[in-house]
Amino acid sequence: MNALTHSSEDDLIFLDELEAYETSPIVKTSSTWRIMIIDDDPDVHSATTFALGSLEIQSRALSFLHAYSAAEARDILENESDIAIILLDVVMEQEDAGLQLVSYVRKTLGMADVRIILRTGQPGYAPEIDAIRDYDINDYKTKSELTRTKLYTAVTSAIRSYEQICAISTSRRALELIIKASTELLALQGLQNFATGVLQQIISLLANQTEGFVCTKQVLDETTNEINELTIIAASNGFSDYLNQSINEATNATIQASLHQAIQARHHLYQSESTVLYFGNIKNQDLTVYLNTGLHLNELDKRLLEVFCSNISVGLDNVMLTSSLHNYAFYDPLTGLSNRLKLLQTLNETLDSPLKQGTVLSLIDIDHFAETNDALGHQFGDLLLCAVAQRLVNIFGNDCQLARVGSDTFALMGKETRVSPDAILALFSLPFDVDNQVVQLSATIGLVKLMDCDGDGSEAFKNTNIALKRAKTHHRSGYAYFTRDMGVEIRERVRMMHKLRSAFENEHLFLVFQPQVDMRTGQALGAEALIRWKTEEGEFIPPDQFIPIAEYSGLIVNIGEWVLRSACFELVHLRSCGYTNFQMAVNVSQAQFSHPLFMQTLHRALHDSKAPPDCIELEITESMAMEDPDLLIKTLHQIKQLGIRVSIDDFGTGFSSLSHLQKLDVDKLKIDRAFVNEIKDSSGDGSIAKMVVQLGQSLNMEIIAEGVETTMQAETLLSFGCHLAQGYLYSRPMAKEDLYAWLKTKSLP
Ligand code: C2E
Ligand code: CA
Ligand code: CA
């Protein structure tokens, strides 16, 4: 369902783009662009902050405000100002909660500057054109379209527009004109209409003092990618004879040169006699506007045009989208099945009828579809989806409701006797024959009995999604029925996430340090930094409980950066106290590690603290090593180039193969404390620990044992050839003051 979270292909593009955008070194300024995320799905919040979190636009970082319902959003908006963008979910408490909120923002609160980007789970939820026009909605996207790259582009362009609007808000009237113009344009369908509209609006913006035309380069033939000359697709009166002609035929060399210059530079061109506005390349269309302005435009006119353009570039992208969306308000264009909107209607009707008793709603999510799509191509992926849809129709079409509700998610609703996990899974038992290829698919299913639902259709839908997510995390290729406990659990997790966020912001998190010792000499070689959270009520929440929530919500990226920096600064302080060989080990989560700005974070921590890289050790877990081997190898390589050391934590609990390990450039293996714990008395032999030690030795890696609690364990480990350890036998994790006191009792290394 949630396409924001799985777009690994896009992430790579994103990286490239990042480099292009971030040409200037990051300069922290005091103010940030404030972005408000309003969405009832915490995943969307985390995915968004994760995607945008550390980005800077024009040297200003982004900061986020979060609301999980329209009601919460109202409370926040009443008290906040300077919000640049609202990223708004259309469907929340009610189907139109999002649009009602927009009306509240624009009309009741009178906030005209803030840019609004609407997001919705499904195409069927396109807002009415009237709404777009009346409420000055900047942009409209389905969530599946908002991959990282697109999100970033949409946000960047909205911020530019916001900035310009703020800059000229003195000229209110002109601004209103632009906003009216751009929203009217959003309603136009088809490129030619759009171009004509753009031209009309520009001419009226410039008080009818100008003539001009719009031209594009168009792809004539998709297969050969043949591109035509610049063609005039819209023209004002003075140029109307040249409509649909190439500029080579219609215009003189000077005009042609100006157009080419603007396109090449990808920029507007202001000349003494004329102006060329460049609208960027959108969907293979290089939209360019030539204006016979006659004299140099004044600064205000230029600014107005620029605001207009930045609003329009987004509009252009939407022209095609919005028009097709409205044609398909209720049906999925690919498979011809109902879409989510239609399903919700039927669902609401069923919930209100006696049929509720005995009806089951299920969501069927195809496993690894994204990978299949990437491997075999999108066209093939589409065919595959159609094949699945067809099979669903064949088997359930007569007496059940079917819909496609996400890129690779189908909904099926019907009598309990029909809609069962067995019946659905049976559908996937035979392979699919698509385009002469045989593909075996599997699916994960979330189900809900409508009798277990209290609210309306969207509530029931949400519950099914919760069950689906549960089925995915607990057993692939399986299924789960929604239970009321699941709802409670999710709410609890969201509550904890809020608490954690404010604990982090209010500096209620801190680090403790657990020494790592050489068992032969008893000397401390270094320490592992471990995070602690003490709540306002004085309760300690163990990291095993809150780290997963931090990871799930994306908060780990910021928290992890803070841990890293604090640990580096502490290391430098320790060195200044004479512990010059001290090593500091820092835990790093998968989400941090795979974040596109992780290396920058690392650089910055080293640079700001002046910590020597070879005294810093990052602990990654073995399961991370399995997740995305290619990314891991690449990132490890970059880390090693910085001189930072890497160890594999909890070693032995994952599934690393020897060959896999050999490929990884790591310095140390950390034997998981479960295996140390096995060394109990003479009968518990610790054979796994022994094996890990031998493995490490054969790969020339250092070995450290964690969770060493008894001298017996220490001696056994020493006899295996493992010399380094960490554990209660030597010391518990300590506050930094206690660490210094503890170190004093040892001789200086
Ligand atoms: P871990 O990285 O395996 O950390 C070692 C854990 O073992 C620590 O628990 C430590 O207090 C505990 N321990 C140390 N010696 C002994 C012993 O002799 N006996 C026993 N029974 N336990 C021992 P802690 O501090 O509760 O941390 C739990 C986990 O939370 C860590 O496991 C790590 O996965 C995560 N974590 C802690 N701090 C951070 C952090 O800053 N960032 C990230 N990403 N994860 C962290
Ligand atoms: Ca660790
Ligand atoms: Ca560990």
Domain ranges across the chain: 15-169, 188-330, 340-482, 512-532+556-743
Helix spans in 328-420 (H): 340-351, 369-376, 378-396
Res 117: pLDDT: 87
Lowest mean pLDDT among 126-130, 412-416, 418-422: 126-130
Q: How many angstroms does the Cα of residue 586 sit away from the middle of ligand 2? A: 7
Q: How many angstroms does the Cα of residue 726 sit away from the middle of ligand 3? A: 10
Helix spans in 68-190 (H): 70-79, 97-103, 129-135, 148-167, 172-186
How large is the greatest C-alpha to C-alpha distance in the chain, in angstroms? 99
CA 78 to chain centre: 28
Residue with more model confidence, 382 or 55: 382
For a pLDDT cut of 90, what percent of the chain falls above it? 38
Contact predicate 592/627, CB 8 Å: no
Asked if residue 328 has pLDDT above 60, the reply is no
Res 76: pLDDT: 92
Angle between helix axes 340-351 and 457-474 (nearest 10 degrees) is 110
Q: Which of 587, 588, 671, 708 to mutate to test the pocket of ligand 1 (most atoms within 8 A of CB)?
A: 587
Residue 549 CB less than 6 A away from ligand 1: no
Assigned token pair, 261: 């210059």
- Name the pLDDT band for 10 (thresholds 50, 70, 90): very low
Q: Which amino acid is at 142?
A: T
Average pLDDT, the chain: 82
Residue with more model confidence, 134 or 743: 743
Angle 134-138-144 (CA atoms, 0-180°, nearest 5)?
120
Residue with more model confidence, 218 or 263: 263
- Name the pLDDT band for 17 (thresholds 50, 70, 90): very low
pLDDT in tens, 121-140: 655 555 555 555 566 666 66
For a pLDDT cut of 70, what percent of the chain falls above it? 80
Which residues fall within 8 angstroms of residue 537, CB to CB, at 6 or more apart? Answer: none
Res 21: pLDDT: 29
CA–CA distance, 582 with 578 (Å, rounded to integer):
9
Q: Give me the CATH code for the 15-169 domain, please.
A: 3.40.50.2300
- The residue-averaged pLDDT of 163-173 equals 59
**C-alpha distance from residue 10 to each of 141, 283, 394, 596, 633 (Å):** 17, 17, 35, 12, 19
Per DSSP, the three-state class of 700 is coil
Which residues fall within 8 angstroms of residue 60, CB to CB, at 6 or more apart? Answer: 29, 31, 32, 33
Which range of 18-22, 185-189, 438-442 scores highest in mean pLDDT? It is 438-442
- The residue-averaged pLDDT of 476-484 equals 83
Residue 733 CB less than 6 A away from ligand 1: yes
**358's torsion region: left (phi>0), alpha (psi -120 to 50) or beta?**
left
pLDDT in tens, 603-647: 999 999 999 999 999 999 877 766 667 778 889 999 999 999 999
Nearest Cα neighbor of 693 from 722, 667, 670, 668 is 722
- Name the pLDDT band for 428 (thresholds 50, 70, 90): very high
Residue nearest to atom 3 of ligand 1 (CA): 650
Res 3: pLDDT: 34
Res 626: pLDDT: 62
> Which CATH number, 3.20.20.70, 3.20.20.450, 3.40.50.300, 3.40.50.980, labels domain 512-532+556-743?
3.20.20.450
Q: Which atom of ligand 1 is nearest to the CA of 672?
A: 3
Q: How many angstroms does the Cα of residue 548 sit away from the middle of ligand 1? A: 13
- Name the pLDDT band for 292 (thresholds 50, 70, 90): confident
Nearest Cα neighbor of 288 from 318, 311, 258 is 258
Contact predicate 187/321, CB 8 Å: no
Asked if residue 415 has pLDDT above 60, the reply is yes
Contact predicate 619/647, CB 8 Å: yes
- Name the pLDDT band for 305 (thresholds 50, 70, 90): confident
Which residues fall within 8 angstroms of residue 343, CB to CB, at 6 or more apart? Answer: 401, 403, 405, 411, 413, 461
Residue 542 CB less than 6 A away from ligand 1: yes
Res 136: pLDDT: 65
Residue with more model confidence, 295 or 365: 365
Asked if residue 466 has pLDDT above 50, the reply is yes
Q: Class of 188-330 per CATH?
A: alpha beta
Asked if residue 348 has pLDDT above 90, the reply is yes
> Which residues face 34 on adjacent strands?
63, 83
Q: Strand order of the sheet with strand 83-89?
A: 56-57, 60-67, 33-38, 83-89, 115-120, 139-142
**C-alpha distance from residue 324 to each of 321, 330, 353, 562 (Å):** 5, 12, 33, 46
Residue with more model confidence, 200 or 589: 589
Nearest Cα neighbor of 303 from 164, 179, 173, 115 is 164
Q: Give me the CATH code for the 340-482 domain, please.
A: 3.30.70.270
Residue with more model confidence, 248 or 647: 647
Res 421: pLDDT: 95
Which range of 245-249, 411-415, 647-651 scores highest in mean pLDDT? It is 411-415
Asked if residue 537 has pLDDT above 70, the reply is yes
Asked if residue 706 has pLDDT above 90, the reply is yes
pTM: 0.52
CA–CA distance, 743 with 726 (Å, rounded to integer):
14
Res 155: pLDDT: 86
Lowest mean pLDDT among 236-240, 393-397, 706-710: 236-240
Q: How many angstroms does the Cα of residue 622 sit away from the middle of ligand 1? A: 15
Which residues fall within 8 angstroms of residue 62, CB to CB, at 6 or more apart? Answer: 32, 33, 34, 35, 52, 53, 55, 56, 155
Asked if residue 476 has pLDDT above 60, the reply is no
Residue 561 CB less than 6 A away from ligand 1: no
Q: How many angstroms does the Cα of residue 650 sit away from the middle of ligand 3? A: 4
Asked if residue 723 has pLDDT above 90, the reply is yes
Which residues fall within 8 angstroms of residue 294, CB to CB, at 6 or more apart? Answer: 209, 210, 273
Contact predicate 465/446, CB 8 Å: yes
CA 405 to chain centre: 20
- The residue-averaged pLDDT of 112-117 equals 85
Q: How many angstroms does the Cα of residue 629 sit away from the middle of ligand 2? A: 20
Q: Which ligand is nearest to the CA of 515?
A: 1
Res 477: pLDDT: 55
- Name the pLDDT band for 283 (thresholds 50, 70, 90): low
Contact predicate 81/50, CB 8 Å: no
Assigned token pair, 218: 């168009």
- The residue-averaged pLDDT of 57-73 equals 89
CA–CA distance, 201 with 195 (Å, rounded to integer):
10
- At 682, phi and psi to the nearest 5? -60, -20
Q: How many residues does the chain have?
A: 749
- Name the pLDDT band for 28 (thresholds 50, 70, 90): very low
CA–CA distance, 708 with 188 (Å, rounded to integer):
70
